[in-house]
Amino acid sequence: MEVRAKGIEYPITVSEVLGIGRPYQLYLPDIAEDLVPLAAEVPLTYSVIDSNQAGGELYSGALTKLSRKGAEARLESPVDVFSNIEMYVAGKDGESLRGTLYGKVVGSVPETGSEFSLCFTSVPPEIESFLGELLAQATAAQPTATINKTPTKTPKTKTPKHRRASPKNGRGLPPAVS
């Protein structure tokens, strides 16, 4: 894929690197984040950040599924994919938790017009603790067969070819040069 990057005069090619082949045979691990349905939706208010300018119009929403690094949320107003949003999360007592949760909209949930996949980009400690408790409760309540996996690409690993032992010396080493 070619992109035009800020500060570079010509388009550059970008690639997704998942590993290094021969001779190293090193690959990134396949990490799948589990999205766990929450027992009760977590209410929030959010605004879309335009051009690094926060403080736009506030809308209502709710977190419906949660993982360590992201969530699925039902949002009142449609949001473009790759938009940055700031969220104010309501705690157990209904009052807004201290701090602002920042995230990026990474996709929309198929067959719904109001549910979106989010990736958290900045999580304050108080909100991290609250979401961690919710995730632990939801994970304990769910049988493992019903947990949804976020799709990830799996690198194709190649099995390294092994040398056969040389019939001349039987140890797989090249014959000695005389």
At 155, the pLDDT band (50, 70, 90 cuts) reads very low
Q: Give the count of alpha carbons within 13 A of 132, CB side only.
A: 7
Does residue 162 surpass a pLDDT of 80?
no
Q: How far apart are CA 125 and CA 122, in angstroms?
A: 10
Q: Give the count of alpha carbons within 13 A of 78, CB side only.
A: 6
Q: Which numeric CATH code is attached to 34-149?
A: 2.40.10.220
- Domain edges within the chain: 34-149
Three-state secondary structure call for residue 128: helix
105, 118 in Cβ contact below 8 A? yes
**What is the average pLDDT across 52-75?**
88
The residue that leads in pLDDT, 18 or 48, is 48
The pTM of the full predicted model, rounded to 2 decimals, is 0.63
